[in-house]
Amino acid sequence: MIEVTRINDEKIIVNAVLIEFIEATPDTVITLVTGRKLMVRESVEEVRDRTEAYHRLIGLCPKPFLETASAMEEEEIE
């Protein structure tokens, strides 16, 4: 679960596993797999970082994407 702030400054907790995608329209909109949309104050990058951290915490994402991509590039060079 991640905490985000609605446009009206209300703090809410979102189940990060249910996030389908995040977009800037220019406000940040989180779309859940249920179809529900949430407009929040945090940037797309902040929501993504919190979501990735939560996924790592529960074991869904063992390493940050950038670390994995860097490791793959290094293997290709060798």
| pLDDT computed for residue 59 by the predictor | 86
| pLDDT computed for residue 60 by the predictor | 82
∠ CA 31-37-38, nearest 5°, is 100
- pLDDT exceeds 80 at position 3: yes
For the chain, domain boundaries: 2-77
**Each residue of 21-47: pLDDT tens digit?**
999 999 999 999 999 999 999 999 999
> How far is 76 from 11, CA to CA, in rounded Å?
44
- Dihedral sign (CA 19, 70, 57, 4): negative
> How far is 8 from 10, CA to CA, in rounded Å?
6
**Each residue of 42-77: pLDDT tens digit?**
999 999 999 999 998 988 876 665 565 556 666 666
| pLDDT computed for residue 70 by the predictor | 59
